[in-house]
Amino acid sequence: MADFTNGFWDIYIAALTLLGIIGCGILLYSQSKVKVVKTDAGKIDTTGHVWDEDLTELNTPMPRWWMWLFYITIVFALAYLFLYPGLGSYAGKLGWKSSGQYQTELAKADAEYGPLFAKYQKQDLKTVAADPQAHAIGERLFLTYCAQCHGSDARGNKGFPNLTDKDWLFGGAPETIQETILHGRVGAMPPMGAAVGGDKEVEAVAHYVLSLSDSTHDPIKSVFGKEKFGACMACHGADAKGNQTLGAPNLTDKIWLFGGSVETIKETINKGRTTTMPAFADFLGEAKVHVLAAYVWSLSNNPAEVAAPAAVPADPPVAAEK
């Protein structure tokens, strides 16, 4: 507050608040009794207000506990303003802050769930993957932090890899997946149009690339393209099976990160591609990433094979009875 206004306004608002509260108290006190003019010797049971010469208001008093409730609200207001921030820039005796409350809740959550994550962190990733509870936690983490790019079914999108197949750009071992989540990845394919040649050569290479996975292609163009593929071998390898150290994809399967049409492949060769998987180490912490990595690994592997049969995740979707 003081960053934007000068100190006068703090005092102005605090004074206004306090005067308002005190004013309420004075009003309440002054109105709890009224002086009336005794007009004759009889009992006075009116408030003394007279309108239109003879119309008087009967005094049917409010219960006294009601008045005390009003006084209690005044005491409460003053006590609150003394203990908590509310009077200008006065911080309050208890020093309460909304950010402090957030930190407290965070610490409480860490204290509650920390031991659980710590338990999993000590376990091997494959063992964690076989744990049904860890699987459920992993799924929730995935839906919160990963589903935006990889989809809630983890099957990816254009430019974002499918995590449920066995094809991996940087390797599919559980430790590698953990590494990927912790520190992120950058996949870079440079523009290769000039290196390959002109438009005609690029199209030929595209057809050759399609032929590698036995996809629909033009055989003549593909033969011509094979000669020009040399420029690609540095990364994708002579056998075109890719290089996981570089994140260069395997071109001999039918899995495409950006699409498998001739047009898309030509675009990839001409313009190159850059992909970024952000690092989550600082954001999620190693303990959560440990559970998350185990979950992602379990999407394309059967964790039951590595763990005791009793640890099979309970209640899998039933595929029978068709």
Partner 1 sequence: MNAPQEQVIKMYAAREEIYPREIAGRYARLRWLFVWLTQLAFYCTPWLQWNGRQALLFDLGTRKFYIFGLVLWPQDFIYLALLLIISAYLLFLATAIAGRVWCGFACPQTVYTEIFLWIERKIEGKRSARIALDRQPASLHKFGKKSAKHAAWLAVALWTGFTFVGYFTPIKSLMGEVVTLSFGPWEWFWVLFYAFATYGNAGWMREQVCKYMCPYARFQSSMFDRDTLIITYDSARGEPRAPLSKNGNGNHGSCIDCSLCVQVCPTGIDIRNGLQYECIGCASCIDACNTVMDKTGQARGLVRYSTERAMDEHLTPTEIRRRTTRTRVKIYSAVLGLIVLATCSALYLRKPLKLDVIRDRGSMGREVEDGMIENVYRLQIMNTSEQAHVYKISAGGLDTLSVADADTVRVAATETRGYPLRLRVAHGAGHTGSNKINISLTAVDDPSLHVQESAVFIVPR
> What residue ranges bind partner 1 (CB under 8 A)?
31-41, 44, 47-48, 59, 61-67, 143, 147-153, 155-158, 160, 254, 259, 315, 317-322
Specify the DSSP element, H or E, that contains 235.
helix 230-236
Name, in order, each residue with C-beta under 8 angstroms of 312's C-beta and a sequence gap of 6 or more. 130, 304
Identify which of residues 108 and 119 has a Cβ nearer to partner 1 in the complex.
108
Identify which of residues 41 and 55 has a Cβ nearer to partner 1 in the complex.
41
Residue 312 beta carbon to partner 1: minimum distance, rounded to whole angstroms: 14
Contact criterion met (CB below 8 Å) for 159 and 153: no
Q: Name residue, tokens 């005092």.
A: 11
Residue 37 beta carbon to partner 1: minimum distance, rounded to whole angstroms: 5
Specify the DSSP element, H or E, that contains 277.
strand 273-277
Token pair listed for 140: 């929730």
84, amino acid identity:
Y
Per the document, the length of the chain is 322
Residue 301 beta carbon to partner 1: minimum distance, rounded to whole angstroms: 17
Residue 215 beta carbon to partner 1: minimum distance, rounded to whole angstroms: 10
> What 3-state class would DSSP assign to 112?
helix
Identify which of residues 31 and 245 has a Cβ nearer to partner 1 in the complex.
31
d(CA 156, CA 151): 5
Greatest Cα pair distance, the chain, in angstroms, is 125
Nearest CA among 134, 132, 130, 131 for reference residue 117: 134
Residue 67 beta carbon to partner 1: minimum distance, rounded to whole angstroms: 4
Identify which of residues 59 and 103 has a Cβ nearer to partner 1 in the complex.
59
Residue 62 beta carbon to partner 1: minimum distance, rounded to whole angstroms: 5
Identify which of residues 44 and 109 has a Cβ nearer to partner 1 in the complex.
44
Identify which of residues 103 and 148 has a Cβ nearer to partner 1 in the complex.
148
The radius of gyration computed from the CA coordinates of the chain, to the nearest angstrom, equals 37
